[in-house]
Amino acid sequence: MTKLHFLIFSILLSVSISLYAQQHNRDSLFQFEIEKKTTEFRSEIDFKKAHLFYQEKNWDSTLVYSMKQLSSTQNKELVDYCHFFRGHSFRTKNLLDNAKKEFNSISREFKFYHKVNINLGEISLEEKKFLNAISYFKEVETLIKNNQYVYKKSNVILNLGLCYTRLNKYNKAQEYLFKSKQMQEKEKDTLSIIATNINIAILYFRKRNKKQAFVYFKQAYDLSKKHKDFDSKRRTALNMSIFEETNKNLPLALSYRKEYEKWKDSLNDQNKIWKVAELEKEFAVKQKQKEVTVLEAENKLKVAERNKLLYSSIGLVLLLITGGYFYREKIKTNKIIVAQKITLDELNATKDKLFSIVSHDLRSSVNALKTSNTKLQESLETKNFTELDTQLNNNSAITNGAYNLLDNLLNWALLQTEQGYFEITSMRLFIIVEHVAYNYKALLLDKNISFENTVGKKDMIDADQESLKIILRNLLDNAIKFSNENGSIKVYSKSEDNNYCNLIIEDTGLGMSESTRLELLKDTALLSKKENEDIIGTGLGMQLVKQMIHKNKGGFNIESELGKGTKMIVSLPKTAS
């Protein structure tokens, strides 16, 4: 019998506590007050967080942040709220001693102190310290009597009834239980009514009033049938079964027991279904996660592939561009090389031509000397002295010509290799002309050409003496060469401007055509064509003249009229005075 009691009581106790836990958070006034506090203490972030976690039923976090808030604040209200949060958290985590400590540190001024009392009472109830529980609940009861706001007052009354029942004070227990039932009926809280009915039934059961006990058990049982809550159904069924068992009405007890088992199973089933659903959900999530990761991997692969394609195409384009660039460069250099080759070929051809002409000229000169010498010998043998003189003159003319050619050749070579001494100094143009002309006296006399040097004696020019002499020698040589007998050659100067002095060598000789003139003035290294084998030379002399004048920073021009004569004009820089 006692064993049975215990079973029933434990079920009942759990009923009342679960009720409390279920409904606690729905206390809107309490919530509203806390909201107000959080907005009031907006700056207290820890409090806000603690409250947030409290609402989310994340008890551990609530404990952490409330502790932080406690260590940083002195505000009594906040301290009380924090203790409350902590107490509640500890209680739900079944650390009852800690919960009691926290609740006890809440000051009496706390606006919701009745909640503290309720909590403490319920804890005492759990610890089976019924007297303590009663004292806590009584305090709340006085508040109820004074018509003050208490959330779920019927529960308090129910719990008082419970305590008295356990203390075997049945009268008091009865009073409270009925009062609770009355209140619950007003509140239309079926679950609480069921719990109260069970408790009343147990009260009657303890008073051995089986009849009454049956009525309330039955009432609870019927009520639970109307209600969805499996737990109530199970408990009422179990109670009925135990009750019928004590009445020895075994078949009935068995049917109730079966019903109990059924509700228990369905409760379990429900739980199982929940669990299965949970598992399925988890599985689905995992599956989804897998898919996501697969997709991600695929994406990564795609991106990598795309990047590879991009880089390789960029590389290809770069390669193409550089290739094109080098190809163009190559074409350019090829062009340059080709152009250089052409000029080199031309130069080489010139050189070859020069060689052949020079050697040809020398050969004919030497040949002429040879034949002339044979004639000389003949004349000597026949002692024809009058002939001898002309032959010797002829010989010296030939050697002179050959010498001039060789001299030009040497100077040309020196000019090409830049080995010659070259120094520009100031000098009197007149004297230099005199010096050069001196060598041609005999030749001039021979051809009966009158020669005049009317260069201004004060004309000072800047030039390299030797190269100036080479220029004059060639020009005079040409003038004589292209002059007819009894002609005249005049050399004179004309001041071009402040910087240049023009030296003009004028003859009354053959002159030249415009095309020849332009040909001679051309800056090419090519030798002019031979129009007249006898008197037109290699062109080396003119080439030398032009290059020497250029080296002396001078200018060169030709004025000529076919059959009338030629003016060779050399502009030379004046000596700055």
β-strands 555-561, 565-573 pairing: antiparallel
- CB of 286 or CB of 441, closer to another protein: 441
**Other CB atoms closer than 10 Å to residue 153's CB: what's the count?**
21
Q: What is the DSSP string of 66-77?
A: HHHHHHH---HH
SS3 418: coil
The distance of closest approach from Cβ of residue 426 to another protein in the complex, given in angstroms and rounded to an integer, is 9
Considering only CA atoms, which of 121, 123, 109 is closest in space to residue 157?
A: 121
Span of 6-14, 124-132, 144-152, 417-425 interacting with another protein by CB under 8 A: 417-425
Scanning residues 528 to 547, which ones bind another protein (CB under 8 A)? none
Smallest distance, another protein to C-beta of residue 438, A? 5
Mapped onto helix, strand or coil, the DSSP state of residue 9 is: helix
Q: Where are any strands of DSSP class E within 465-499?
A: 488-495
DSSP state of 428: E
Q: Which is nearer to another protein, 348 or 454 (CB)?
A: 454
**Interaction between residue 438 and another protein (CB under 8 A):** yes
Measure Cα distances from 8 to 121, 205, 226, 239 in Å.
21, 11, 22, 7
The rounded distance, in Å, linking the Cα atoms of 94 and 98 is 9
**Contact region with another protein (CB under 8 A), list: 37-45, 129-137, 290-298, 432-440:** 432-440
| 435 scored as a contact of another protein (CB under 8 A) | yes
- Site for another protein contains 416 (CB under 8 A): no
Interface with another protein includes 420 (CB under 8 A)?
yes
Helix axes 2-23, 153-166, angle to 10 degrees: 160
Q: Choose between 33 and 407: whose C-beta lies nearer to another protein.
A: 407
Q: Which of 28, 171, 419, 515 binds another protein (CB under 8 A)?
A: 419
Rounded least distance, CB 430 to another protein, Å: 8
Minimum distance from residue 434 beta carbon to another protein (Å): 6
Residue 421 interacts with another protein (CB under 8 A)?
yes
**Site track for another protein across 8-47, x = CB under 8 A:** ----------------------------------------
Size of interface with another protein, in residues (CB under 8 A): 13
- 530: which DSSP letter? P
Interacting span for another protein (CB under 8 A) from 18-26, 111-119, 155-163, 428-436: 428-436
Give the gyration radius of the chain's Cα atoms.
Answer: 69
Residues in the chain: 577
Nearer to another protein, 433 or 520 (CB): 433
Stretch of residues binding another protein (CB under 8 A), selected from 23-31, 258-266, 375-383, 415-423: 415-423
Q: Which stretch binds another protein (CB under 8 A): 4-12, 176-184, 412-420, 530-538?
A: 412-420
Copy the structure tokens of residue 43. Answer: 């700056």
User: Which positions from 496 through 525 interact with another protein, judged by CB under 8 A?
Assistant: none
Where does 227-249 have alpha helices with state H?
230-246
Q: Which is nearer to another protein, 338 or 576 (CB)?
A: 576
300, 301, 304, 309: CA torsion to nearest 10: -140
Q: Which is nearer to another protein, 206 or 428 (CB)?
A: 428
Residue for token digits 């040097």? 453
Indicate the residue among 219 and 552 with the shorter CB distance to another protein.
552
CB 82 within 8 A of CB 51: no
Strands 488-495 and 450-453: parallel
From 165-173, 394-402, 429-437, 559-567, span contacting another protein (CB under 8 A): 429-437
**Does 414 contact another protein by CB under 8 A?**
yes
Residue 429: CB minimum distance to another protein, A: 11
Answer for which of 105, 266, 439, 453 binds another protein (CB under 8 A) is: 439
Place of tokens 């505000």: 75
Give the residue, chosen from 93, 290, 328, 457, that forms a contact with another protein under the rule CB under 8 A.
457
Q: Which of 27, 245, 446, 466 binds another protein (CB under 8 A)?
A: 466
Q: Please calculate the CA angle 28-30-32 and round it to the nearest 5 degrees.
A: 65
Report whether 437 contacts 491 (CB < 8 A): yes
Both structure tokens of 258:
């079966």
Dihedral pair phi/psi, residue 245, rounded to 5°: -60, -45
Measured from the CB atom, the residue of 213 and 427 that comes closer to another protein is 427
Distance of alpha carbon 543 from its chain centroid, rounded? Answer: 66
Considering the rule CB under 8 A, would residue 428 count as an interface residue with another protein? yes
Query: Which residues make up the interface to another protein (CB under 8 A)?
Result: 414, 419-421, 428, 431, 434-435, 438-439, 457, 466, 469
